[in-house]
Structures are given as structure tokens and as C-alpha cells.
Amino acid sequence: MTGMEAHIIQLASEQEYEVYEVIQFPFEEGNFLDLYICTKDHFEYFIIASIDFSLLKKVNNKIQIALFTKLRSHITDGSENKTENLSHFFEKNTTLIVVTSPPSSTRKEYVYKEVSKIEEDAYYFKKQVLFFNSEENIFFNDNLASYPTVSDYCSAIISDMEKYELFVIGLDNEFELISRLYEKVPFLNLSVVKHKPLNLDEMIEAELDAEHLELRKEILKSITVDNMDEWISSIGASND
């Protein structure tokens, strides 16, 4: 299992997916893949496979065809693989997530071209290609060490507006790496933080001293949907 593949498997576990290891799956004579199948309900499946960058050209033909036609029998033939039987949804509702590490010398344009060929192929499976070079893997691992889980790390970075603003002008590589994960890993979802709505009554009472609290009702009557923003702004200005 590669470093990034291990992180994706960990993400799946953190998102409460069942994860099954499939070892030594033969996609052509003499060539094998170790891969993982993730599912929550046996309705939607994800196949996670670490594939050498030099073998990406085989994903759209030999690899995915072998997975589509032979994986079911491979995991139910009484071998050491303990994966539960795949449901009838497997052939219709599966995403293949390819994890690969291009050599550092590979031009980005070439990487994007090879990735697009796979992801735009409409046959057999939906496909995503997650690519990290060795330097990016090291960078990811070093920063991940400061967080309890992979999910926490990803959520903290993608929610950081300062890092986002730097990313927009090309000055934050970490945000770019994490956004790539959100783009390529379907079960990695952005957590939405719920904020307590403004309590207008409390805001008014905080602005009034005891002597003038009787004006509260009059103030409430005077505030409408149309002028509420203006009133809130005036409170902020008076506190500056």
C-alpha cells in the first residue's frame, strides 16, 4: 500500500465505509494488483488501486476490463480474500479511484493529459485519478502529523479562507493538494459548520442600559427587513 493510498483508505474508514482488501488480482498474465473495495450499503462501490504511472495507459483497457469481468469471481472463489459478495449494483454503480505518483520530472501538462484520458472514458466504471509526486507525498505526511485524523486535516485546510486567497494567486501549495483530494475522492465531503443565527433581542439589550430598556419594544417595531442591515452596521460603527 502506498502512502497516499493508505490515506485514502483511512479516509474511507473515517467516513464509516466498510473496506475490503483484495490481493493479487490478475489484470493480465504475469501482472497483478492489490486493491481495496469500499462500500457502505452495497449499493455504491469504490475500488481504490495504486497503479504505477507507467501503467496508466492500461487502465482504460486491460485493467478496467479485468476488474469488470473478473473481480466478482476472484473474490468469491474461496481464496484468502474475505471480501463479501458484491451486490448486483457493482457493475452499474462503481467508481474506480486510481492513485498514482508521476516522476517529479514529468511535465504537468503530460500528467493532466494522461489523467483526462482515463477520467473521460465512459466505459465500465466512473474513474478518478489522484496523482501526487514523491515531494507532495512527503509534504502531505509532514503536515498531517499535526492532526488527529486525515478528515480533520483536510477539513481544516479547505476551510481556511486565508489559505484559499493565497491559493487563488498561486501561493499556497498545501491548499492545492487538499483541494485535489476533494476533487478526486467522492466520499470526502466538506463539513458545513452551522452558525447560531443572530438574536436581535439580545443585540438590542446589549446596546441599551437599564434606564432605556423600556424603549426596546419601540426599537423592535422600528426595525424592518429592509433596514435591518443598516441598523446592525450602525451598531458596529458605534463600537469602533
| Alpha carbon distance 174, 179 (integer Å) | 9
- If one counts every other C-beta atom within 10 angstroms of the C-beta of residue 138, the result is 12
Q: What does the block give as the cell for 86?
A: 458484491
116: containing domain: 3-147
226: CB partners within 8 A, 6+ apart: none
Residue 123 lies in a domain: yes
- Report yes or no on 111 lying in a domain: yes
Same domain, 143 and 214: no
Q: Is residue 9 part of a domain?
A: yes
Residue 35 lies in a domain: yes
Asked if residue 81 is part of any domain, the answer here is yes
Are the CB atoms for 35 and 49 separated by under 8 Å?
yes
Q: Which of 108, 125, 147 is the last residue of a domain?
A: 147
H-only helix segments in 120-197: 134-144, 150-158, 161-168, 173-184
CA distances from 44 to 5, 73, 112, 155, 210 (A): 19, 19, 27, 24, 60
Instruction: Identify whether 233 is part of a domain.
Output: yes
Residue 160 located in a structural domain: no
- Could you tell me the CATH number of the domain that includes residue 74? 3.40.1350
Q: What's the predicted TM-score (pTM) here?
A: 0.74
Q: What is the pLDDT of residues 5-48, one digit of tens each?
A: 999 999 999 999 999 998 888 888 888 998 999 998 888 999 99
pLDDT digits (tens, 9 = 90+) for 40-82: 888 899 999 999 999 999 999 899 999 998 888 887 765 555 5
Task: Identify the domain boundary among 147, 173, 192.
Answer: 147
Structural domain contains residue 219: yes
State the total domains in the chain. 2
Q: What is the pLDDT of residues 123-146, one digit of tens each?
A: 899 999 999 988 888 899 999 999
